[in-house]
Amino acid sequence: MSSETRSGSVDSDLQTAQYLTIGMNLTLVLAVVTVAAGVALGVAIIVVATVGLFALAMCGYVVAHVTLHRRVADARKRGREQASVTGALGLIRANLLLYGAFVLAGLAVVFEFGYV
């Protein structure tokens, strides 16, 4: 493998991690606003559907993260991994905690307001 191909793979992994993070953060902002609107309007289906869809999106995010992590682990075995990729994966893991907290808070709202 040429040096260009190796570098391109790492760059691609970094770009993927960046897109995942930006996309999920925008999704989180939209979900928070939607849940707040649903609670303010008293429309249970908006709150329940938003929390459910966000939980589903979070599952997709986890699958993408695991796939990316495996590629990085494979690159590490071959000595091609860069610290920036590891940092990006760390950011993704930190975001997973944030997203999980939102889902738990959303479930608390659902049960507290008797939407279920």
Q: What is the pLDDT of residues 60-84, one digit of tens each?
A: 998 988 888 788 777 777 776 666 7
Cβ(21)–Cβ(58) under 8 Å? no
Return all residues near 16 (Cβ < 8 A) that are at least 6 apart: 64, 68
CA distance 40 to 29: 17
| Single-letter amino acid, residue 39 | V
Q: What is the mean pLDDT of residues 3-12?
A: 60
Residues found in the chain: 116
Q: What are phi and psi of 73, to 5 degrees?
A: -60, -40
Cβ(89)–Cβ(17) under 8 Å? yes
Give me the chain's average pLDDT, please: 85
Summarize pLDDT for 39-50 with one digit per residue, the tens: 999 999 999 999
| Single-letter amino acid, residue 81 | E
Q: What letters, b where the CB count within 10 A reaches 16 and e where it falls short, cover 7-32?
A: eebbeebbebbeebbeebeebbeebe
Band of pLDDT at residue 36, cut at 50, 70 and 90: very high
pTM: 0.80
CA distance 84 to 13: 10
With 0-12 / 13-18 / 19 or more C-beta atoms within 10 angstroms meaning exposed / middle / buried, residue 51 is buried
Which of residues 4 and 31 earns the better pLDDT score? 31
